[in-house]
Structure 1
């Protein structure tokens, strides 16, 4: 991944990840499990369902240490089966 996070952010910092996936009660737990593998911590994600209820978005703030860590988290979160995109 060739991103420019390091040009715009000063690390370490809090970084919000928004994960959009198919609505499933287990999706929040799966997102937090991936985050715990890479950046253990106490997470309080928020969730919002789409208008028709097909999708849900999960937002969670993570303390990140580097551009590489942000890229790794984007990759790991996007590999969750129910996830459609990570913003």
Structure 2
């Protein structure tokens, strides 16, 4: 039996995205710019470099208001050219 994400989450709620991308200074700003378009707010993302320093992990938590917002942000964050994966 498949369960849909919107059946597991009660909105509004905090929702954290973890974005992993190439370690470039603009990665954090580009992630925040996309998040601001769909969930305006003051964000202080957590940034962690990979063991060898080639990649950054950027975690940002939004106040999600509906499932479409969550899904759209997954798609839009994944379109950033220096992003490898969005969790």
| Count of equivalent residues | 85
TM-score by length of 1: 0.94
Q: In the TM superposition, what whole-angstrom CA distance separates every residue of 1:57-85 from its partner, at most 9, and x where no partner exists?
A: 00010111111110000000000010000
The gaps in structure 1 that reach 5 residues or longer are none
Deviation at 1:5, TM superposition (A): 1.7
Q: Structure 2: which 5+ runs fail to align?
A: none
CA RMSD, 1 decimal = 1.1
SS of 2:19's partner is strand
Question: Counterpart of 2:82?
Answer: 82
Give the 4+ runs in structure 1 shifted more than 2 A. none
Taking structure 2 as the reference length, the TM-score comes to 0.94
Per-residue CA deviation, residues 4-47 of structure 1 (Å, 9 max, x unaligned), is: 22111100100000000000111000000001111111111000
